[in-house]
A and B are shown apart, each in its own frame.
Chain A
Amino acid sequence: MDFSFTEEQTLLRNMVQSFVQDNYDFDSRMKIVRSEEGMSREIWGQFAELGLLAAPFSEEMGGLDGGPIETMVIMEELGRGLVVEPYLPTIVLCGGILSRHASDAQKETHLPGIIGGEDVWALAYAEPQSRFNPADVLTSAKADGDGYVLNGTKAVVAAAPWANKLIVSARISGDQRDSDGLGLFIVEKSASGIATQDYPTVDGNRASEVTLENVAVGADALIGAAGNGLALLEEALDFGIGAVCAEAIGHMKCLNDATVEYCKTRKQFGVPIGSFQVLQHRMVDMFMEYEQSVSMTYMVNMKLTESEAERKKAAAGAKVQIGKSGRFVGQEAVQLHGGMGMTEELNVGHYFKRLTVIDTQFGNVDHHLKRFAAA
């Protein structure tokens, strides 16, 4: 048993940490969020230069051969900076699916653009009626000659406004919520028949409603075997959970540090408010929630590559922990900052909002409690 990081992992952490510190302070972040596009292509290019976009891919594909622990280290540091650039959808979700399940030809076509920073990808899996069940898919994929024709609507697709490529889940066969019969398809966002409604989200990101009307794709668009899409998708979402857990502990750490600092300096009744025991205990609770979340984040990222059953249970458990802890830490950080915590001007509220979205992302506490119980 060993919970220490390798020298390479520590170097990676230091590199991302200093990049974020130097290039992504809160003011720069808000400028990016409020810009027309809502992300910085320049930052994304720098991620490519630093090799961050290559981290999880195999060396033969031009990657750095990193695993979930490397992704965890990167995501935690990106979380501290509240980075909005689409590392999660492009690298962790879509990149992960491609690297694990795409054919050699598909990898050769698509991975260089990801690693080089030219392409942004989004995973279009949720639908207006699906809530948190990835098997609930009405979007259809009808075989047509060698290829398929896609029809349907995808909901709240994170990073889709920035993306030029999508991975879309669609039903090749079976009924609306069958676990068999799904396919994952690579689709150019510029393909004929795709329309998007783009919008900002409460956490400073961007998302789209994506409609597909008779979108024709070739046989080479399908990832893996026809009908096996749900297994690939669930696995990708669990990797996504491992990543957002890491992002969330980055947020919680920053919130706890900021709150302790604030309570040491903010004076009321002639003394720092941190001298009040009721607030001290509150901050101790926040600290314990953070530590428990770190533990579950390490646990899930060590188990992502274990058996499917272990992975599912670990991901569900970690997501419950992060959901509850993130909510508690976020709410209390705002409360202890008083009116200041309510302002758009202070970073506290922005960590709180991102943690709120993470609570829902890939399924909320109730969803994963059920999943944990069933696993």
Chain B
Amino acid sequence: MDIDFAPEDQAFRDEVRSFIEENYPKHLAGVDRGELSKEDFLAWHKILAKKGWAAPSWPEEFGGTGWTVTQKYIWNEESATFGTIPPLPFGIAMLGPVIYSFGNQEQKDWVLPGILSGDTWWCQGYSEPGAGSDLAGLKTKAELDGDEYVVNGHKIWTTLAQHADWMFCLVRTSSDGKPQEGISFLLIDMNTPGIEVKPIITIDGGHEVNEVFLTDVRVPAKNLVGEQDKGWTIAKFLLGNERSGIAGVARSKKAIDRLRDIARAELEDGAPLLDSADFARKISELEIDLTALEYTELRTLASESKGRGPGPESSILKIKGTEIQQRITELTMEAVGNYASPWVPQLDRGDNYRSIGPDYAEGVSQGYFNNRKTSIYGGSNEIQRNIIAKMVLGL
């Protein structure tokens, strides 16, 4: 056992750190993902694409970096520590691996370059009103008519669909057999007639997710990935990838640093809140849980580097990672005391807007409310526990 990084890894860390510091867009430094324009979402992605670093997790032949597992870990850590707005997951983390694993040559040539460059914005058409945790219950129907599929249905919780050029979509092409059979994986141009995107405003006041209505949407048959009716394998493959990056250890570390800064500035009876034994204890408990998660993730990575893929154990990373993120936002809100409650939506701020209370209190409650989604999305934490029960414990 050895927990130290090799010297060449340290050198790599220095290299990526200075690259980030020198090239990250100045106007986005310290900016949260919150309400960004399409250009701002893509700004860092496009810089990374030029450098060839947009998709470190991809095989080199498709545009990956060829980094070792450790190097990728260091990259993620440095990115989080700096607080970059990472490339959106829909193309790089989700669809890309599907295409180079299941797509035909034509699809690889057509889809992958747009993902790498950031020129094509993808969204994920998975959930439906009747198909959440039970994804296989989806009903959106695609019927072959000549060389086109005609798609009818209703997708929901489609993140950032308002900006999307394309959607990768699970559709039902057959109702025979088990629900998992008869699902297909289809690529749909969002500009096709018959698609309507309707915003869903969440309890933090943000517009991140949408409903997508599809009415007689005609999709070329060549946009089918893999075999018709065999899309469930692809869907599960993608969900496994979605989970592996979800622990968010480095970003949680940074969030705890911020929490500690706030607790240092916030006063309780004239003394820093951080000096309060009760509060310091809660931060310590969080840090210890995060350390445990960090080592659990490192153990997973070590076994991955020996060639074993992320197994059902990755559900641990999802459950613990999101629980920790939620506790951090909760404690951060607690730290700012009375100033957790003011809430002036971005749109209502005039030119003379002054922030209310200390700057660090701004947006803290929204962060807490917004983060409640993390134990729901990507397979709810209840579903993740089912996966561990079934796949790991054999219950």
Hey, which bits of chain A sit against chain B, CB under 8 A? 126, 128-129, 131-133, 136, 155-156, 176-177, 197, 199-203, 207, 209, 267-270, 273, 276, 278-279, 331, 334-335, 338-339, 341-345, 349-350, 352-353, 356-357, 360, 364, 366, 369-370
B266 partner residues in chain A, CB cutoff 8 A: 131
With a cutoff of 8 Å between Cβ atoms, the chain B residues found around residue A199 in the complex are 342-344, 356
Interface locus among B200-208, B228-236, B310-318:
B200-208
Task: Report which of A132, A203, A342 forms a contact with B373, defined as CB distance below 8 A.
Answer: A342
* A129→B203 CA distance, assembly (Å): 29
User: Could you give, for residues 331-368 of chain B, a 1 whenever the CB lies within 8 Å of some chain A CB and a 0 otherwise?
Assistant: 00110011111111100100000101110000001101
Query: Whose C-beta in chain A lies nearest to the C-beta of B377?
Result: A339
Q: Which partner residue on chain B sits nearest A267 by CB separation?
A: B130
Give the Cβ gap from B327 to chain A, nearest Cβ, in Å.
11
Inter-subunit contact A344/B339 (CB<8 Å): no
A156 to chain B: which residues have CB within 8 Å?
338-339, 341-342, 357
A-B contact pairs, 11 of them (CB 8 A): A156-B341, A201-B341, A201-B342, A202-B365, A269-B133, A331-B372, A339-B127, A342-B372, A345-B200, A349-B369, A352-B203
CB distance from B154 to the nearest CB of A (A): 13
A128, B357: Cβ atoms closer than 8 Å: yes
Q: Residues of A contacting B334 with CB < 8 Å? A: 360, 364, 366
Among A131, A176, A201, A344, contact of B202 (Cβ-Cβ < 8 Å): A344
**Chain B residues, CB < 8 A from A268:** 131-134, 137
CA distance A335 to B337 in the complex (A): 25
In the assembled complex, B184 has its CB within 8 A of some CB on chain A: no
Q: Which of B203, B333, B338 contacts A343 (CB 8 A)?
A: B203
Interface of B toward A, CB cutoff 8 Å: 127, 130-134, 137, 156-157, 200-203, 205, 209, 266-270, 273, 276, 278-279, 333-334, 337-345, 348, 354, 356-358, 365-366, 368-369, 372-373, 375-377, 380, 382, 385
Q: Which of A200, A209, A343 contacts B200 (CB 8 A)?
A: A343
> Closest Cβ of chain B: how far from A345's Cβ, in Å?
7
Q: Is the CB of B356 within 8 A of A126?
A: no
CB-CB < 8 A to A128: which residues of B? 357-358
A129, A207, A366: the one within 8 Å of B342 (CB)? A207
Contact B341 A360 (CB under 8 A): yes
Interface hub of B157, B209, B337 (most chain A Cβ within 10 A): B337
From the candidates B132, B269, B341, name the one contacting A203 in the complex (CB within 8 A): B341
Report the minimum CB–CB distance from B311 to chain A (whole Å). 22
Nearest to A370 among chain B residues (CB) is B278
Interchain CB contact (< 8 A) of A342 among B203, B342, B382: B203
Bound form: Cα–Cα A267–B338 in Å: 40
User: B363 CB to closest chain A CB, in angstroms?
Assistant: 11
Contact present for B156 and A176 (CB under 8 Å): no
- When the two chains form the complex, which single residue of B157, B205, B269, B358 contacts A344, counting CB atoms closer than 8 Å? B205
Separation of A190 and B266 alpha carbons in the complex (Å): 32
Contact B376 A207, beta carbon cutoff 8 Å: no
Closest to A136 in B: B269
Least CB distance from A169 to B in Å reads 14
Q: Shortest 3 CB-CB distances between A and B: which pairs?
A: A349-B203, A268-B134, A344-B201
A335 to B376, CA, bound (A): 6
- Our pick among B278, B343, B376 for the contact of A338 (Cβ within 8 Å) is B376
- Cβ-defined contact, A202 with B343, below 8 A: yes
Which residue on B lies nearest to A369, using beta carbons?
B278
The one of A177, A273, A345, A360 in contact with B338, judged by C-beta atoms closer than 8 angstroms, is: A360
| Complex Cα spacing A276 to B133, Å | 13
Question: Given A279-B382, A335-B372, do A132 and B341 touch, yes or no (CB 8 Å)?
Answer: no
Task: Report the nearest A residue to B156, measured CB to CB.
Answer: A339
| B162 shortest CB reach to chain A, Å | 16
Residue of A nearest to B326 (CB): A331
Q: Which residues of A contact B366 (CB under 8 A)?
A: 202
Which residues on A sit within 8 Å (CB–CB) of B343?
Answer: 199-202
Set of chain A residues within 8 Å of B273, measured between Cβ atoms: 131
Give, as a whole number of angstroms, the nearest-CB distance from A224 to chain B.
25
CB nearest neighbor in B for A155 = B338
- Within 8 Å CB of A357, what residues of B? 340-341
A278 to B384, CA, bound (A): 13
Q: Is the CB of A353 within 8 A of B369?
A: yes
CB distance from B329 to the nearest CB of A (A): 11
Residues of A within 8 A of B338 (CB): 126, 131-132, 155-156, 360
**Which residue on B lies nearest to A269, using beta carbons?**
B134
Q: Could you say which of A132, A197, A356 contacts B365, with CB atoms under 8 Å apart? A: A356
Q: Assess A176 versus B344: contact at CB under 8 Å? Given A338-B380, A339-B127, A344-B202.
A: no
- CA A279 to CA B382, docked complex, whole Å: 9
Q: In the complex, what distance in Å separates the CA atom of A350 from the CA atom of B273? A: 29
A339-B157 contact given A155-B339, A197-B354, A356-B368, CB 8 Å threshold: yes
Q: Is the CB of B267 within 8 A of A342?
A: no
Q: Which residues of A contact B337 (CB under 8 A)?
A: 131-132, 360, 364
Determine the chain A residues whose CB is within 8 A of the CB of B339 once the complex forms.
Answer: 155-156
Q: Known contacts A128-B357, A339-B132: does B203 contact A207 (CB below 8 Å)?
A: no
Contact check: which of B133, B205, B278 meets A366 at CB < 8 Å? B278
* Shortest distance between the CB of A21 and any CB in chain B (Å): 24
Docked Cα-Cα span, A13 to B342, in Å, equals 32
- In the complex, chain A residues whose CB is within 8 Å of the CB of B276: 366
Other A-B contacts than A278-B382, A342-B203, 12 sampled, CB-CB below 8 A, are A128-B357, A136-B269, A155-B357, A202-B343, A268-B137, A338-B380, A339-B132, A342-B202, A342-B373, A356-B365, A356-B368, A364-B334
Complex CA gap A331/B323 in Å reads 12
Cα(A129)–Cα(B133), bound, Å: 45
Contact B356 A343 (CB under 8 A): no
Q: How far is the CB of B111 from chain A (nearest CB, A)?
A: 28
Q: How far is the CB of A371 from chain B (nearest CB, A)?
A: 12
Contact status A133-B269, CB under 8 Å: yes
Q: Chain A contacts of B341 at CB under 8 A? A: 156, 201-203, 207, 357, 360
Q: Is the CB of A339 within 8 A of B376?
A: yes
Q: Are A176 and B270 in contact (CB under 8 A)?
A: yes
Residues of B within 8 A of A338 (CB): 132-133, 376, 380
Residues of B within 8 A of A131 (CB): 266-269, 273, 337-338
Given the complex of chains A and B, what is the CA–CA distance between A360 and B348 in angstroms?
Answer: 25
